[in-house]
Amino acid sequence: MVNKMISIFKPKKIKDFNPSGLNIYTFNAGFKKKDKDLLLIIFDQIVNVCCVYSKTSTPSAPIIWDKKNNKGKAKALVVNAGNANAHTGKDGLKIIDKYVKALTKKIKCRSNEVLVSSTGVIGEKFNPNLIIDKFKKINSKNKNGLLESAKAIMTTDTFPKVSIKNINLDNQSFKIYGIAKGSGMIQPNMGTMLVYIFIECEISKQLINRLLKNNLDNTFNSITVDSDTSTSDTLMMFSVGNKNINLNKKNFTIIINSIKNKNIISNDSKGDPLKFEISINIDYKILENGQIILERDIEKSNIYNNKSDKFELDQDEKNITINLSKKISDNIISSIINLNDN
């Protein structure tokens, strides 16, 4: 008999609760011998969602399907554990298409409102009926809590990962909660493992994108275990519930001054420009109630080659300016969000 090593990070008590705004169902679909291996979450209404995926060059079929179809709205989430549906080619996408279409007929929604994830064995196809057959059991008797949802997505995990946080804002309270699974094959620059986060209030697609992506680098993208990038790593953040809480509770005034320069960096043997540099310098002040609370300078630059075709050169310079401006605006937005959180 093999003793399964339990992580030292396992908490003494794992929290559980029944969230509002969504219905959780877990089943044994046959990917595992006896344990739950299928998670189905159906939201009471269409919710906003932001997703981040593995940057591997060989993503799994669920990642390909989600990125192609989802537009930032979700009615349901389907996650199976035990088979990753990775390196399965076009057949893997056909498998997803079959069980998604079956679910849309059951819950009356569009295919692009269903998100999917898979984790487990790589390179093996499976019969979509394993999942479809469980849709017949969607009823109030089979509803579960958050802890069971975490158990259903486990593979080599030694304990389920659940986190629940109570937030008080604008004299209102709400929860942020999430579940995760993960083991090896965790490399920076991707969503890391399978992670699903839920915020119990209404948040716009734009804001939920900023909240997630502006906090990736010092959290999920800073983790590594074995220097490999997985085919299936996924992070999703959902805005659930109907609490209309003002997350932009502070009013700021921003004063921005900008300077754009184009300089010759090097010349060829004839004295003609060989390389250019475009630099954008921004100094900005953020004021609250007329008082300066933040003052910063940002400079971004890009070196590029000269081109004989003036149209191509103009296009390159235009794209460089746009990209530099976006990087600067992202920095400013991030600083505003951080101020708003404090």
Q: Of 214, 239, 264, which residue sits at a domain end?
A: 239
Give pLDDT, residue 42: 97
Give pLDDT, residue 241: 73
Query: Which of 26, 56, 119, 192 is the catalytic position?
Result: 192
Domain that holds residue 277: 253-341
What does the alpha-carbon distance between residue 56 and residue 233 come to, in Å, rounded to a whole number?
A: 9
What does the alpha-carbon distance between residue 53 and residue 202 come to, in Å, rounded to a whole number?
A: 23
Q: Of 239, 264, 280, which residue sits at a domain end?
A: 239
Give pLDDT, residue 246: 57
Same domain, 257 and 188: no
Same domain, 49 and 157: yes
Spatial CB neighbours of 122, under 8 Å, sequence gap ≥ 6: 60, 84, 86, 87, 231
**Residue 98 structure tokens:** 């079959």
Give pLDDT, residue 201: 85
Same domain, 261 and 199: no
Q: Is residue 67 part of a domain?
A: yes
- CATH no. for residue 133? 3.60.70.12
**Residue 130 structure tokens:** 């394993």
pTM, 2 dp = 0.68
Q: Is residue 4 part of a domain?
A: no
Same domain, 96 and 163: yes
Same domain, 233 and 337: no
Q: Is residue 211 part of a domain?
A: yes
What does the alpha-carbon distance between residue 193 and residue 185 come to, in Å, rounded to a whole number?
A: 8
Total domains in the chain come to: 2
Half-sphere exposure of 156 (CA within 13 A, CB side): 9
Same domain, 257 and 219: no
Same domain, 48 and 184: yes
Q: Is residue 304 part of a domain?
A: yes
Give pLDDT, residue 192: 43
- CATH no. for residue 270? 3.30.160.150
Give pLDDT, residue 156: 78
Q: Is residue 129 part of a domain?
A: yes
* Successive 10-residue mean pLDDT values, the chain, 342 residues: 57 79 95 94 94 83 94 96 93 97 96 95 94 93 90 86 83 86 51 79 81 70 56 86 61 88 94 94 87 90 94 93 90 79 58
Residue 192 a catalytic site member: yes
Same domain, 74 and 187: yes
Same domain, 156 and 272: no
Same domain, 224 and 279: no
Give pLDDT, residue 302: 95
Q: Is residue 314 part of a domain?
A: yes
Same domain, 221 and 320: no
Same domain, 204 and 257: no
Half-sphere exposure of 224 (CA within 13 A, CB side): 9
Q: Is 11 exposed, middle or buried (0-12, 13-18, 19+ CB in 10 A)?
A: exposed
DSSP letters, 143-180, are EE-HHHHHHHT-SS-SS-EEEEEEEEETTEEEEEEEEE
Q: Is residue 77 part of a domain?
A: yes
Q: Of 239, 268, 294, which residue sits at a domain end?
A: 239
DSSP assigned state of 219: T
Q: Is residue 76 part of a domain?
A: yes
